């Protein structure tokens, strides 16, 4: 069974640009979450999508957005990039068992560097 | 609010030593608890989980018990190997919050031969 696939693995962007990251969940998983990992802030929750609807949102500015397609694939977009957006962005897909009994499977991440 | 506190690293051990990584949590209600491991250059892998009080999660020789009285979920392994060197994250999902993991800061484990 294929795991969570994130593309691209590495990205270098310039301040002010925008970027789109992609995540293909494990087949059958309908919940997709995104996390930002930085040395200073650790792992922080960005947002979660389930059946094409955003169900949860973390404390990030509106420059960070996402969406989910009918096949459960998800994209996240960051507009007007800042140096502080440099991070490892992780996607996780879940088979939600009983509402909260989540078992999240992570992709390898996309390493974004903003210069 | 909901939060996870992990012991500071790095933790440096010799091969075959006993490992404990402390994790305590603050949450409303009874969250689900998890340990994830991250190897260099990789994403996170679920190591073990527990969804209710007194549950013991175990995998690959690692164990952790959900202690409601002490709000703890300490990770233990009886005999570590060099291949266990990684960063370990304790995490919780608040009851009713669906798929929203709240992570601790992570603990770097370095096992020396």
Q: pLDDT tens digits, residue range B3-16?
A: 999 988 899 999 99
Q: Nearest CB to B98: which of A90, A92, A99?
A: A99
Surface-to-core class of residue A78, CB atoms within 10 Å of its CB (0-12 exposed, 13-18 middle, 19+ buried)? buried
Q: Report the pLDDT averaged over residues B43-66.
A: 95
Looking at per-residue pLDDT, the higher value among B95 and B102 belongs to B102
To the nearest 10°, report the CA torsion of B65, B66, B72, B78: 10
- In A1-82 the beta strands, taken as DSSP E runs, fall at 5-7, 10-13, 19-24, 31-38, 42-50, 53-57, 64-68, 74-78
Judge: B44–A94 Cβ closer than 8 Å, yes or no. Answer: no
B100 touches chain A (CB under 8 A): yes
pLDDT at A97: 63
Q: Which residues contact A52 (CB under 8 A, 6 or more apart)?
A: A67, A68, A69, A70
* Mean per-residue pLDDT over chain A, rounded: 92
Question: Hey, is B66 helix, strand or coil?
Answer: coil
Higher pLDDT, A14 or A101: A14
B chain contacts of residue A106, beta-carbon cutoff 8 Å? 36, 43-45
pLDDT of residue B100: 85
**Nearest to residue B81, comparing CAs of B36, B49, B45, B112?**
B112
Cβ contacts (< 8 Å) between A104 and chain B: which residues? 34, 46, 99, 101
Helix, strand or coil, per DSSP, at residue A104: strand
pLDDT number for residue A101: 54
Measured over all CA atoms, what is the biggest interatomic distance in chain B, rounded to whole angstroms? Answer: 44
- pLDDT (average), residues B2-30: 94
**In sequence order, what are the beta bridge partners of B23?**
B6
**Measured between CA atoms, how close is A100 to chain B, in angstroms?**
4
What is the rounded distance in angstroms from the CA atom of residue B36 to the CA atom of residue A106? Answer: 10
Q: β-strand B23-26 against B102-103: which pairing, if any?
A: unpaired
Cβ A19 vs Cβ A91: under 8 Å: no
Using one digit for the tens of pLDDT, what is the confidence trace for A46-77? 999 998 999 889 999 999 999 999 999 999 99
Instruction: Indicate if the pLDDT at residue A26 is higher than 70.
Output: yes
Mean pLDDT of chain B: 93
A35 and chain B: CB distance < 8 Å anywhere?
Answer: yes
State the average pLDDT over residues B75-86: 97
Q: pLDDT class for A21, splitting at 50, 70, 90?
A: very high
> Quick check: A44 pLDDT over 80?
yes
Residue A43: closest C-alpha in chain B: B103
């Amino acid at each position: 069974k294929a795991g969570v696939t994130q593309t691209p693995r590495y990205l270098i962007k310039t301040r002010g640009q925008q970027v789109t990251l992609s995540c293909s969940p494990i087949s059958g998983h309908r919940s997709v979450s995104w996390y930002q990992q930085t040395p200073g802030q650790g792992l922080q929750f960005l947002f979660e999508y389930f059946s094409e609807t955003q169900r949860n949102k973390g404390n990030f500015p509106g420059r960070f957005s996402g969406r989910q397609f009918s096949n459960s694939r998800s994209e996240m977009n960051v507009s007007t990039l800042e140096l502080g957006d440099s991070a490892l962005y992780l996607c996780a897909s879940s088979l939600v068992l009983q509402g909260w009994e989540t078992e999240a499977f992570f992709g390898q991440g996309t390493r974004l560097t903003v210069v | 609010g909901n939060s996870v506190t992990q012991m500071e690293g790095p933790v440096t051990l010799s091969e075959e030593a006993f490992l404990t990584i402390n994790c305590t949590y603050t949450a409303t209600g009874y969250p689900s608890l998890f340990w994830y491991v991250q190897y260099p250059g990789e994403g996170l892998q679920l190591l073990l989980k527990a969804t209710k009080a007194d549950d013991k999660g175990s995998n690959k020789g690692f164990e952790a018990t959900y202690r409601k009285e002490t709000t703890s979920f300490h990770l233990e392994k009886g005999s570590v190997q060099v291949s266990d060197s990684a960063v370990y994250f304790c995490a919780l999902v608040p009851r009713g919050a669906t798929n929203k993991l709240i992570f601790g800061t992570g603990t770097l484990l370095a096992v020396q031969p």
